[in-house]
Amino acid sequence: MYYLGIDVGSVSTDIVVIDENYNVVESVYLRTKGRPIKAVQEGFKYIKEKIKTNEIAGVGTTGSGRHIAAFLVGADVVKNEITSHAVAALSLDKDVRTIIEIGGQDSKIITLENGMITDFAMNTVCAAGTGSFLDRQAERLEIPIEEFGDYALRSKNPVRIAGRCAVFAESDMIHKQQLGFAVEDIIRGLCEALVRNYLNNVAKGKDIKSKIFFQGGVAANKGMKRAFEEALGCEVFVPKHYNMMGAIGAAILAAERQIKWTNFKGFEIADVKYETASFECSGCSNLCEVAVIKCEDKVIGYFGDRCGRHSGKVAV
Amino acid sequence: MKVGIPRGLLYYKYKPFFTTFFEELGAEIIESPDTNKEILDLGVKLCTDEACLPIKVFHGHVEKIKDKCDLILVPRIMQVEKREFICPKFCGIPEMIENNIKDLPQITKAPIYSYSADKFLNWAYETGKLFTKSYIKIQRAFDYAIKEQNMFKEGIDDEGFQYKVALIGHTYNIYDKFINMNLVKKLNNFGIGVITHEVVDDNVKHMEVKKLFKRPFWTFAREYYGFASYAVRNQLIDGIIYLSSFACGIDSVIVELLKLEFEDIPFLLLKIDEHTGEAGFDTRVEAFVDMLTRRKGGNLA
Ligand code: SF4
Ligand code: SF4
């Protein structure tokens, strides 16, 4: 039997299938592009070719779009990103004490002790250091993002870049470029600046103990990994499925539940036509922006109402 | 005379006093509605950007009712305890309102020192003058109002939950359900009970802060620290949630103090401002709940 994990974030949607021993057997990574339903359907189209619906014994969803995803696919477990990431890391190594997670648009830190979360923090405000920011800088320097890390590793004399916030970092980089510094040195300097920024903001006041896991999309960047190791003075581990840890955690949580009958609606929903719309509710002065999901002109779900006036009407 | 009472700032604490006082003087009370999106938007638009969210929200409430009343209560609360101060923004709130909001009716501006009846009466006379020439009448309204206020039971102390957290923060954050996105109910739905600082007696809090190196300068700091210290020592709670206004200087001091002092207690800081998204907010709350329940050996999933 297999378990399905789905992580719908603002930038990417990750779907994994794990077996009973929590090994990843299938995985898909898609851009969410503001359309989570579409992304999940795309992912299902791919997985459907390899795995049958009746082989799935449980489904977990996580990420900022976890509720929509859960509704769409029929999830058994709906969990926040913090818990999911921690569960995935712990399944690989019981001794992990710190998880550094940097994704497309946010970053977090989780500290653990004896396999339990003791503290965490999230940053959703400042863009500096997140995946989207690095993407943009790579684009500006005309370097494929995949090679960004290699460039950083080649540098011998990093340039100091101001990393306090994304705007400053960017303009400081442009300035350093104009002064004629080598691209390698600028990139390494940028990695160091972003690590400083992370440690001073997200990780401020947190007890960073080893063993340290570095996960999320940005963990692919070797320059960032090394900058963390230098700043922290110890080894930083990047798990094999570093960019799927949320989805893996959600799948594990579903597996741990040992549910008899999964709610899973099946991979076939990949072919259903869904329409989404939104309206401003005028039911009261909150004026909620309510999202509606329709299927063949029939409303099947509402999201985003504060009072449950709409979402309560449809049986989920 | 129609007196407007904006549902913002310390409204949640002193509502009985002010409503009774004005009613006794023959006023009709116009309260602004509970905070909603329109009020928040108005406040954000009218107020300077640097202000904390509660001050902005207060602006919104004033704007919402200004056309319906002859006088608006804008309490300039200076001190509620001797040798302590309330936030400096409270001292300047009438000026902020006057400068930021156009076409205002009259507003109350007299300062409030409420640590003694004598001092507090100065405010009552100053404000009561607008209604009557009779000091006796004002005095009587004041006495009634104090009595009402003393009968008012504040605070939350949930019972029958497996877990309990101290919910700390300014009353205008904790009781404004729109601003805090219904936090208390969300916690209750997760099986977490809440206790707030008003439940613990003031004298107890005074005793608790004696342990500090220096007497707190801010009333809020004494109340919140004193409460947390008492709750932790008596094992009333499994964790602390601090609901803080973004850009509140006082909160940032108290948060650091609490974190230093109660290292071993699970602590969640929730910062709110006008940009706070509900999804991220919920994620934090949910993750914190997981952390608490798992500590006690509860089921994670
Ligand atoms: S969905 Fe509910 S809370 Fe939101 S505006 Fe409509 S009635 Fe008000
Ligand atoms: S105490 Fe903080 S939240 Fe309250 S008015 Fe002052 S600065 Fe704003």
3-state secondary structure A43-84: HHHHHHCCCCHHHEEEEEEECCCHHHHHHHHCCCEECCHHHH
Residues whose CB falls within 8 Å of the CB of residue A239, separated by 6 or more in sequence, listed in order: A88, A89, A92, A213, A215, A245
For chain B, which residues make up each domain, given as ranges?
2-151, 163-297
Q: What's this model's pTM, rounded to 2 decimal places?
A: 0.83
Rounded mean pLDDT of A25-34? 90
d(CA A114, CA A117): 8
Beta carbons of B196 and B155 less than 8 angstroms apart: yes
CATH of domain A2-85+246-271: 3.30.420.40
pLDDT digits (tens, 9 = 90+) for B173-231: 999 999 999 999 999 999 999 999 999 988 888 888 888 878 788 889 999 999 999 99
Over chain B, what is the mean pLDDT? 91
Rounded mean pLDDT of B107-135? 92
B12's tokens:
């949640």
The answer to whether residue A205 neighbours chain B at the CB level (below 8 Å) is: yes
* Long-range interactions of A283-286: CB distance < 8 A, separation 24+: A283/A307, A283/A309, A284/B36, A285/B33, A285/B36, A285/B37, A285/B38, A285/B39, A286/B36, A286/B37, A286/B178
Phi, psi torsion values for B261, nearest 5 degrees: -75, -35
Contacts of A87 in chain B (CB under 8 A): 300
Rounded mean pLDDT of A108-137? 81
Which residue puts its alpha carbon closest to atom 1 of ligand 1? A305
Beta carbons of B118 and B156 less than 8 angstroms apart: no
Q: Locate the ligand 1 atom nearest the alpha carbon of residue A310 and give its number.
A: 1
- Taking CB atoms and an 8 Å limit, are B280 and A124 in contact across chains? yes
- Taking CB atoms and an 8 Å limit, are B290 and A117 in contact across chains? yes
Residues whose CB falls within 8 Å of the CB of residue B256, separated by 6 or more in sequence, listed in order: none
Using the predicted structure, report yes or no on whether residue A291 has a pLDDT greater than 50. Answer: yes
Task: Determine which of B265, B273, B283 to mutate to test the interface with A (most A C-beta atoms within 10 Å).
Answer: B283
CA-to-CA separations, A280 to A283, A290, A310, B151, B287, in angstroms, rounded: 9, 6, 12, 42, 30
Rounded mean pLDDT of A85-98? 94
A93-242: CATH class: alpha beta
Report the pLDDT value the prediction gives residue A315, as an integer from 0 to 100.
47
Exposure string of B7-41, with b = 16+ CB inside 10 Å and e = fewer, is bbbbbbbbbbbbbbbbbbbebeebebebbbbebbe
Using the predicted structure, report yes or no on whether residue A306 has a pLDDT greater than 80. Answer: no
Using the predicted structure, report yes or no on whether residue B170 has a pLDDT greater than 70. Answer: yes
Ligand 1 centre to CA of A279 (Å) is: 11
Q: Which residue has the higher pLDDT, B246 or B276?
A: B246
Tell me the ligand closest to A289's alpha carbon: 1
- Percent over 70 (pLDDT), chain A: 96
d(CA B179, CA B52): 12
ipTM: 0.74
The answer to whether residue A284 neighbours chain B at the CB level (below 8 Å) is: yes
d(CA A210, CA B199): 41
- As to burial, measured by CB atoms within 10 angstroms (0-12 exposed, 13-18 middle, 19+ buried), residue A263 is middle
For chain A, which residues make up each domain, given as ranges?
2-85+246-271, 93-242, 273-316
Q: A203-212, A293-302, B89-98, B286-295: which range is least confident on average?
A: A293-302
The answer to whether residue A253 neighbours chain B at the CB level (below 8 Å) is: yes
d(CA B178, CA B68): 23
- Taking CA–CA distances from A84, the nearest residue in chain B reads B287
The answer to whether residue B129 neighbours chain A at the CB level (below 8 Å) is: no
The answer to whether residue B294 neighbours chain A at the CB level (below 8 Å) is: yes
Which residue puts its alpha carbon closest to atom 4 of ligand 1? A288
pLDDT confidence bin for A125, thresholds 50/70/90: low
Report the pLDDT value the prediction gives residue A127, as an integer from 0 to 100.
64
Q: Which of A189, A200, A240 is nearest to A219 (CA)?
A: A240
Rounded mean pLDDT of B79-93? 90
Report the pLDDT value the prediction gives residue A122, as an integer from 0 to 100.
85
Using the predicted structure, report yes or no on whether residue A51 has a pLDDT greater than 70. Answer: yes
Using the predicted structure, report yes or no on whether residue A46 has a pLDDT greater than 90. Answer: yes
B163-297: CATH class: alpha beta
Task: Indicate the SS3 state at residue B283.
Answer: helix
Tell me the ligand closest to B55's alpha carbon: 2
Selecting from A117, A254, A286 the residue whose C-beta is nearest the C-beta of B291 gives: A117
Rounded mean pLDDT of A273-284? 86
Using the predicted structure, report yes or no on whether residue B300 has a pLDDT greater than 50. Answer: no
pLDDT digits (tens, 9 = 90+) for A207-247: 899 999 999 989 999 999 999 999 999 999 999 999 999 99
pLDDT confidence bin for A126, thresholds 50/70/90: low
Report the pLDDT value the prediction gives residue B120, as an integer from 0 to 100.
93
